[in-house]
């Protein structure tokens, strides 16, 4: 079920007050929900031993939320230098940081290795010689190609630009050994929003079989396997939740078997984003217009600059009208923003209670890949972010963008190059 009953109850009780204090639109995140999910994840994988979650920063790059995760003992998976800097700003450092980039420049590696470094997750064998020094620990991202099928958000591994191919993976570690690297890990990321736990167990098994082969040929052991993120959440009321306990149980068995055979075993790392924060955020927006042409439209004051997923992936986000739950649904309606793009729709042909101007719509499950994916196309500004704290108070953790922000990078007196 989208949005937990607990979050909904606590939010609904004070929503009009939040709206009148801060104004719409905004994303609001639930500290209690995020903490509970952290605890559930940690407890589920405790029996696996040595488990560590590296939160995928791109899902929700706000330091107020990252601090909560940091306190819960999570590391951070960063895919750019600004994300690394953000994670360092809240005190994460060294091996609590993973740098998983793609098509990385030598300069990016230099910055990643400075300031106490991080775990480098290399995306290609050619990148080994682009490092500014010899890191103690190296990880490669593995792309199994035709050996696995991806899912629709992340695509087919054969067509994916990520990772080292199967026939190059051993050479990659050989190069690292020659360079003087002493410690090793392996990474992969194959699925996105996958609610079938067996897929994740298969991914762990796949990495265990590869490191078995590399260990046999090169004699190195692996400190960790990182199976990536991609754990799914229920976006529609019909979706079943991900079975975390079953996944943990399956991987624990695989690791125990591995340990019996080899007398050593890697730790399990994961870098989920969506699973950790996705259900614990909502986008709150006000109804500003109604329009009846060939379809009925409900116009709201947020647009896809606040939430790209419906427009980009055709993703479903559950919507409820604040205070009108008890009313019968009518419609169908399309819930739309004001961008000059016909895919600027939060909901398509959705049955909702009849709305009036000023009604507050709550768009569920925007806690991951929501605000962070927003853009400024069409001069649309990104909304503010709030957090509903444990003690029931509400804090502004990012202000809305202003026109001054939008103009900030423009050179009104152009820099010219004389020839």
Ligand X SMILES: *Cc1c(COP(=O)(O)O)cnc(C)c1O
Give me the 332-371 binding string for ligand X, x by CB under 6 A, dash otherwise.
------------------------------------x---
Q: Is 340 among the residues known to form the active site?
A: yes
Residue 104 in the binding site for ligand X (CB under 6 A): no
In this complex, which beta carbon is closest to ligand X, that of residue 181 or of residue 231? Answer: 231
In this complex, which beta carbon is closest to ligand X, that of residue 100 or of residue 305? Answer: 100
Tell which positions 320-339 bind ligand X, by CB under 6 A: none
In this complex, which beta carbon is closest to ligand X, that of residue 61 or of residue 117? Answer: 61
Member of 25, 150, 185, 230 binding ligand X (CB under 6 A): 230
Residue 100 in the binding site for ligand X (CB under 6 A): yes
In this complex, which beta carbon is closest to ligand X, that of residue 98 or of residue 386? Answer: 98
Member of 135, 150, 185, 273 binding ligand X (CB under 6 A): 273
Determine the residue with CB nearest ligand X.
Answer: 229
In this complex, which beta carbon is closest to ligand X, that of residue 8 or of residue 274? Answer: 274
Please choose, out of 211-219, 267-275, 384-392, 410-418, the segment that lies near ligand X by the rule CB under 6 A: 267-275
Please choose, out of 217-225, 227-235, 259-267, 350-358, the segment that lies near ligand X by the rule CB under 6 A: 227-235
Please choose, out of 19-27, 238-246, 270-278, 294-302, the segment that lies near ligand X by the rule CB under 6 A: 270-278
Give me the 160-199 binding string for ligand X, x by CB under 6 A, dash otherwise.
-----------------------------x--xx------
Residue 228 in the binding site for ligand X (CB under 6 A): yes
* Nearest C-alpha neighbor of 55 from the set 317, 367, 395, 388: 367
Please choose, out of 54-62, 63-71, 103-111, 239-247, the segment that lies near ligand X by the rule CB under 6 A: 54-62
Decide if 183 contacts 136 (C-beta within 8 A).
yes
Tell which positions 61-80 bind ligand X, by CB under 6 A: 77, 79
Residue 229 in the binding site for ligand X (CB under 6 A): yes
Q: C-beta of 207: minimal distance to ligand X in Å?
A: 14
Backbone angles phi, psi at 241, to 5 degrees: -70, 160
Residue 56 in the binding site for ligand X (CB under 6 A): yes
Q: C-beta of 61: minimal distance to ligand X in Å?
A: 12
In this complex, which beta carbon is closest to ligand X, that of residue 18 or of residue 270? Answer: 270
Q: Rounded to a whole number, what is the distance in angstroms from the first to the last CA of the chain?
A: 63
What is the 3-state secondary structure of the chain? CCCCHHHHHHHHHHHHHHHHHHCCCEEEEEHHHHHHHHHHHHHHHHHHCCCEEEEEHHHCCCHHHHHHHHHCCCEEEECCHHHHHHHHHCCCCEEEEEEECCCCCHHHHHHHHCCCCEEEEECCHHHHHHCCCCCCEEEEEEECHHHCCCCCCCCCHHHCCCCEEHHHHHHHHHHHHHHCCCEEEEECCCCCCECCHHHHHHHHHHHHHHHHHHHHHHCCCCCEEECCCCECCCCCCCCCCCCHHHHHHHHHHHHHHHHHHHCCCCEEEECCCHHHHHHHEEEEEEEEEEEECCCEEEEECCCCCCCCHHHHHCCCCCEEECCCCCCCEEEEEEEECCCCCCCCEEEEEEEEECCCCCCEEEECCCCCCCHHHCCCHHHCCCCEEEEECCCCCEEEEECCCCHHHHHCCCCCCCCCCCC
Decide if 111 contacts 97 (C-beta within 8 A).
no
For ligand X, how many residues bind (rule: CB under 6 A)? 19
In this complex, which beta carbon is closest to ligand X, that of residue 210 or of residue 270? Answer: 270
Catalytic residue ranges: 340
Positions touching ligand X (CB under 6 A) are: 56, 58-59, 77, 79, 100, 189, 192-193, 228-231, 271-275, 368
């Amino acid at each position: 079920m989208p949005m937990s009953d607990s979050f909904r109850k606590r939010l609904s009780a004070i929503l009009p007050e939040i709206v009148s204090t801060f104004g719409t639109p905004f994303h609001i995140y639930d500290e209690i929900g995020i903490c509970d999910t952290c605890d559930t994840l940690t407890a589920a994988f405790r029996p696996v031993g040595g488990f560590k979650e590296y939160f995928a920063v791109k899902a929700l790059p706000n330091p107020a939320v990252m601090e909560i995760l940091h306190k819960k003992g999570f590391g951070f998976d960063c895919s750019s230098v600004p994300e690394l800097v953000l994670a360092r700003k809240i005190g994460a450092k060294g091996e609590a940081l993973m740098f998983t980039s793609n098509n990385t420049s030598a300069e990016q590696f230099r910055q990643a290795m400075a300031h106490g470094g991080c775990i480098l997750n290399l995306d290609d064998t050619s990148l080994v010689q682009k490092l500014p020094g010899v890191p103690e620990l190296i990880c490669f991202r593995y792309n199994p190609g035709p050996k696995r099928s991806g899912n629709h958000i992340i695509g087919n591994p054969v067509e994916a630009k990520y990772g080292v191919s199967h026939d190059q993976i051993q050479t990659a570690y050989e190069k690292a050994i020659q360079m003087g690297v002493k410690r090793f890990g392996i990474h992969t990321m194959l699925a996105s929003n996958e609610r079938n736990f067996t897929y994740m167990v298969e991914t762990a098994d796949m990495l265990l079989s590869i490191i078995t082969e590399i260990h046999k040929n090169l004699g190195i052991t692996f400190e960790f396997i990182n199976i990536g993120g991609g754990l799914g959440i229920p976006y529609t009321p019909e979706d079943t939740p991900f079975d975390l306990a079953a996944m943990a149980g399956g991987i624990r068995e695989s690791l125990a078997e591995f340990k019996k055979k080899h007398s050593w075993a890697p730790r399990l790392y994961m870098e989920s984003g969506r699973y950790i924060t996705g259900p614990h955020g909502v986008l709150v927006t006000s109804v500003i217009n109604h329009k009846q042409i060939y379809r009925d439209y409900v116009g709201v004051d947020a647009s896809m600059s606040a939430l790209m997923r419906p427009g980009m992936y055709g993703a479903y986000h559950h919507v409820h009208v604040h205070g009108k739950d008890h009313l019968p649904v009518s419609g169908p309606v399309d819930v739309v923003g004001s961008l000059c793009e016909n895919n600027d729709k939060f909901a398509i042909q959705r049955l909702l209670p009849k709305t009036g101007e000023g009604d507050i719509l709550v768009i569920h499950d925007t806690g991951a890949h929501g605000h962070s994916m927003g853009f400024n196309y069409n001069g649309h500004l990104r909304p503010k972010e709030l957090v509903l704290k444990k003690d029931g108070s509400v804090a502004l953790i990012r202000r809305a963008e202003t026109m001054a922000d939008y103009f900030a990078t423009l050179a009104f007196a152009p820099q010219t190059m004389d020839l």
